[in-house]
């Protein structure tokens, strides 16, 4: 509420007088002759409504606005300067490809850019709130000129700019150093630039024909990832496929849907059984249902108290399933569970998969990033024995959403599973090497370009940069763990140093500390995290996730994946929990 009101922010859609713009533009005092570029403009301040209308209409009259100095700009790389533009009389139809649409287009985009760079800047400023919470009905009713309803008639570009600003204002700053709510957090500047570019290129990963550079970047990046997994020479296959979490679409692809099942469907197959940890991501079960395996045929494996699969339990369940005459098909080992951050013992699971000839998938959506760290990659030992691996750089590695890779050891299997050879896309008679037309490998036809931001970040940081990022986040979670493990008012959900950045804990308000164990304490404790979380959101100071797990009542799950986080932010979180929870 105390945030500075931007110049056009105060404007209500149509009624109030057009507010002043903070107008400026540069003055020409020379030119960089070397580049044959002449720069001109002038500083002005001119806010009268009549004058602004005149400027706007002059755009539509296809004349150079009279109050701008004419600017000979022969250089094709000429840069646009922001000028005072009245957007209240400009509409989408005045922008490119409209005749004389270039100037208003550039001014509009510069204005948008200004909104975005201000947002970025403030996101890193700890005096900015993480969120400005409102209930759905409040936003639906409309907030001071921010109206979500769509209408038949166009709105002015001024209103569109207000809408952009307000959309950010009432959203959540996932890049804020005190946003700990999801596995994905942070706002990487290089990644952001990469996403902007991707949006501007506005193409699709179908074919080399329409995404030549991106297709090659994907190929090279996937090879590097396979090298880090440890597959010989980085051989194999893979693709980036949308879907957060252990990514259902990636999962779909990883299932060996070859041969009879692809053609005849599941009802022709024996009853196929999949195995995954009771702590594994719910997307595994979801995929099982969607793919027609059925939820009942996804068997959950028991874990130790740290949330790691017990290999003996896997073997016992395989044997039991076989005795019933069903067909064990697939084991998912999780490298970094969602809540505990547990790493299943991949080598022991791989031994069992080899013994019974099962497909081994490693879900490294959250934990895969640790492969970049010489210090932590041992937690995934055995990953090179997997048939397929999921790895989401948008989680632990701070790549903007979304960026999820599925990697498979055997070349050609993706094509074999998913290819339907659509003639109108994947013509064999092209002039270039059509093995680069990767679209047919994916289960969905078109794919958003998720590679560029990741490739650009890798270029800009180097492998060592990702390693530093991973190590730093794990150090911060160790700091948190050490800070609270013996602190009064805290109980850890599981004992010992977490394997990943996940630190799971209960905060016990003073009023509950002396209560005897039992249902009443459990019930009261179950309500503590939700209440604290609600207050955090109302005050907008920080956000952290909570959930129950098994028979454990609601607890906080703290994770760190944002490189903007410092120890002081960890301290702040603890202080805030205590401040808000003290009287519960």
**Which parts of 224-243 interact with its own copies (CB under 8 A)?**
224, 242-243
Among 68, 388, 549, 561, binds its own copies (CB under 8 A): 549
The answer to whether residue 409 forms part of the interface with its own copies (CB under 8 A) is: no
Among 157, 371, 480, 493, binds its own copies (CB under 8 A): 157
- Binding positions for its own copies, 100-119, rule CB under 8 A: 101-102, 105-106, 108-110, 112-119
The answer to whether residue 95 forms part of the interface with its own copies (CB under 8 A) is: yes
The answer to whether residue 154 forms part of the interface with its own copies (CB under 8 A) is: yes
Token readout for 562 is 């944002």
Q: Could you identify the residue written with the tokens 């906080």?
A: 556
The answer to whether residue 265 forms part of the interface with its own copies (CB under 8 A) is: yes
The answer to whether residue 400 forms part of the interface with its own copies (CB under 8 A) is: yes
The answer to whether residue 416 forms part of the interface with its own copies (CB under 8 A) is: no
What does the DSSP assignment read for 66-91?
TTS-------TTPPPPP----GGG--
**Considering only 213-221, 350-358, 376-384, 483-491, which stretch makes contact with its own copies by CB under 8 A?**
213-221
Q: What is each CA distance from 362 to 149, 222, 391, 411, in whole angstroms?
A: 44, 16, 9, 17
- Are 99 and 62 within 8 A, CB to CB? yes
Token readout for 499 is 């394997």
**Considering only 53-61, 232-240, 257-265, 405-413, which stretch makes contact with its own copies by CB under 8 A?**
257-265
User: Which of 185/499 has CB closer to its own copies?
Assistant: 185
Among 548, 568, 571, 582, binds its own copies (CB under 8 A): 548
| 148: nearest Cα among 133, 158, 156, 137 | 137
CA 173 to chain centre: 13
User: Which of 379/461 has CB closer to its own copies?
Assistant: 461
Among 420, 488, 514, 518, binds its own copies (CB under 8 A): 420
Among 15, 151, 233, 357, binds its own copies (CB under 8 A): 151
User: Which of 445/512 has CB closer to its own copies?
Assistant: 445
- Are 132 and 159 within 8 A, CB to CB? no
β-pairing, 179-180 vs 272-277, is unpaired
**Considering only 379-387, 419-427, 490-498, 513-521, which stretch makes contact with its own copies by CB under 8 A?**
419-427
CB of 440 to its own copies, least distance (A): 9
CB of 95 to its own copies, least distance (A): 4
**Considering only 50-58, 275-283, 349-357, 408-416, which stretch makes contact with its own copies by CB under 8 A?**
275-283
Among 290, 312, 319, 515, binds its own copies (CB under 8 A): 290
CB of 350 to its own copies, least distance (A): 26
The DSSP letter of residue 35 is G
The answer to whether residue 136 forms part of the interface with its own copies (CB under 8 A) is: yes
- Binding positions for its own copies, 27-86, rule CB under 8 A: 27, 29-30, 32, 34-35, 37, 39, 41, 43, 45, 47, 75-77, 79-82
The answer to whether residue 22 forms part of the interface with its own copies (CB under 8 A) is: yes
User: Which of 259/355 has CB closer to its own copies?
Assistant: 259
Among 56, 245, 407, 480, binds its own copies (CB under 8 A): 245
Give the integer Cα–Cα distance in Å for 58 and 64: 7
User: Which of 253/350 has CB closer to its own copies?
Assistant: 253
User: Which of 101/478 has CB closer to its own copies?
Assistant: 101
Token readout for 80 is 């646009």
The answer to whether residue 375 forms part of the interface with its own copies (CB under 8 A) is: no
- Binding positions for its own copies, 463-502, rule CB under 8 A: 463-465
Please count the other Cβ atoms lying within 10 Å of the Cβ belonging to residue 568: 11
CB of 386 to its own copies, least distance (A): 21
CB of 485 to its own copies, least distance (A): 22
The number of helices, as runs of H, and strands, as runs of E, in the chain is 16, 14
Token readout for 189 is 């500047």
What are the respective helix, strand and coil percentages of the chain, to the nearest 5? Answer: 40, 10, 45
- Are 363 and 390 within 8 A, CB to CB? yes
- Binding positions for its own copies, 329-358, rule CB under 8 A: 338-339
Give the integer Cα–Cα distance in Å for 250 and 513: 45
Give the integer Cα–Cα distance in Å for 559 and 574: 13
**Considering only 22-30, 59-67, 342-350, 473-481, which stretch makes contact with its own copies by CB under 8 A?**
22-30
CB of 250 to its own copies, least distance (A): 9
User: Which of 248/350 has CB closer to its own copies?
Assistant: 248
In 291-428, where does DSSP find H-type helix? 311-323, 346-356, 413-418
- Binding positions for its own copies, 181-210, rule CB under 8 A: 181-182, 184, 187, 189-190, 192-204, 206, 208-210
Number of amino acids touching its own copies (CB under 8 A)? 206
- Are 481 and 498 within 8 A, CB to CB? yes
CB of 413 to its own copies, least distance (A): 14
User: Which of 319/422 has CB closer to its own copies?
Assistant: 422
The answer to whether residue 145 forms part of the interface with its own copies (CB under 8 A) is: no
User: Which of 193/310 has CB closer to its own copies?
Assistant: 193
The answer to whether residue 505 forms part of the interface with its own copies (CB under 8 A) is: no
Q: What is the Cβ-side half-sphere exposure of residue 143, based on CA atoms within 13 angstroms?
A: 18
User: Which of 187/396 has CB closer to its own copies?
Assistant: 187
What does the DSSP assignment read for 418-478?
H----TTTS-S--SS-GGG-GGGGSSSSS----HHHHHHHHHHHHHHHHHHHHHHHHHHHH
Q: Could you identify the residue written with the tokens 């950045």?
A: 501
User: Which of 124/356 has CB closer to its own copies?
Assistant: 124
User: Which of 385/418 has CB closer to its own copies?
Assistant: 418
The DSSP letter of residue 531 is H
- Are 38 and 78 within 8 A, CB to CB? no
Long-range contacts at 438-442 (CB < 8 A, ≥ 24 apart): 438/205, 438/207, 438/208, 438/215, 438/218, 438/219, 438/239, 439/204, 439/205, 439/206, 439/207, 440/415, 441/237, 441/239, 441/253, 441/414, 441/415, 442/205, 442/239, 442/241, 442/249, 442/253, 442/414, 442/418
């Amino acid at each position: 509420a105390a945030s500075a009101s931007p110049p056009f922010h105060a404007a209500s859609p149509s009624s109030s007088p057009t507010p002043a713009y903070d107008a400026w533009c540069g003055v020409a005092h020379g030119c960089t002759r070397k580049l044959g570029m002449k720069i001109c403009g002038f500083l002005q301040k001119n806010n009268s409504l009549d004058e602004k209308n005149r400027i706007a209409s002059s755009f539509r009259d296809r004349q150079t606005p009279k109050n701008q100095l004419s600017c000979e700009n022969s250089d094709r790389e000429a840069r646009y300067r922001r000028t005072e533009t009245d957007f209240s009389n400009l509409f989408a139809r005045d922008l490119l490809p409209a005749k004389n649409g270039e100037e208003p287009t550039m001014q509009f985009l510069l204005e948008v850019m200004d909104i975005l760079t201000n947002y970025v800047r403030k996101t890193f400023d700890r005096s900015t709130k993480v969120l400005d919470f409102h209930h759905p009905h409040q936003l639906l009713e409309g907030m001071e000129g921010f109206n979500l309803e769509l209408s038949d008639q166009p709105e002015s570009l001024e209103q569109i700019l207000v809408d952009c600003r307000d959309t950010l204002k009432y959203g959540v700053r996932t890049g804020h150093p005190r946003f700990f709510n999801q596995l994905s957090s942070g706002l990487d500047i290089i990644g952001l630039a990469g996403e902007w570019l991707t949006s501007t290129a506005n193409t699709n990963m179908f074919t080399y024909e329409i995404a030549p550079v991106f297709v090659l970047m994907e190929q090279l990046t996937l090879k590097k990832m396979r090298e880090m997994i440890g597959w010989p020479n980085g051989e194999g296959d893979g693709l980036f496929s949308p879907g957060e979490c252990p990514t259902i679409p990636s999962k779909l692809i990883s299932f060996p849907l070859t041969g009879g099942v692809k053609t005849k469907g599941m009802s022709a197959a024996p009853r196929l059984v999949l195995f995954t940890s009771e702590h594994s991501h719910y997307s595994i079960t979801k995929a099982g249902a969607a793919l027609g395996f059925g939820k009942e045929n996804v068997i959950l494996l028991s874990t130790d108290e740290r949330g790691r699969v017990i290999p003996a339990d896997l073997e016992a369940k395989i044997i039991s399933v076989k005795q019933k005459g069903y067909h064990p098909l697939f084991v998912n080992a999780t490298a970094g569970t969602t809540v505990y951050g547990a790493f299943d013992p991949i080598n022991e699971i791989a031994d069992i998969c080899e013994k019974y000839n099962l497909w081994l998938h490693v879900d490294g959506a959250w934990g895969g990033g640790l492969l970049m760290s010489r210090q932590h990659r041992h937690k995934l030992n055995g990953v090179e024995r997997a048939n397929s691996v999921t790895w989401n750089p948008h989680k632990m590695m701070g790549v903007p959403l979304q960026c999820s890779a599925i990697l498979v050891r055997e070349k050609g299997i993706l094509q074999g599973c998913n290819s339907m050879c659509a003639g109108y896309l994947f013509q064999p008679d092209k002039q270039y090497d059509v093995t680069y037309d990767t679209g047919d490998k994916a289960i969905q036809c078109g794919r958003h370009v998720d590679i560029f931001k990741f490739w650009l970040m890798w270029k800009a940081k180097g492998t060592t940069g990702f390693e530093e990022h991973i190590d730093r986040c794990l150090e911060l979670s160790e700091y948190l763990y050490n800070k609270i493990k013996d602190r009064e008012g805290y109980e850890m959900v599981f004992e010992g140093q977490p394997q990943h950045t996940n630190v799971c804990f209960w905060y016990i308000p003073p009023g509950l500390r002396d209560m005897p164990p039992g249902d009443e304490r459990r019930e009261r404790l179950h309500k503590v995290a939700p209440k604290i979380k609600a207050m955090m959101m109302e005050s907008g100071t920080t956000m952290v996730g909570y959930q129950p797990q098994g028979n454990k009542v609601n607890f906080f799950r703290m994770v760190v994946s944002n490189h903007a986080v410092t120890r002081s932010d960890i301290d702040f979180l603890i202080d805030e929990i205590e401040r808000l929870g003290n009287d519960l």
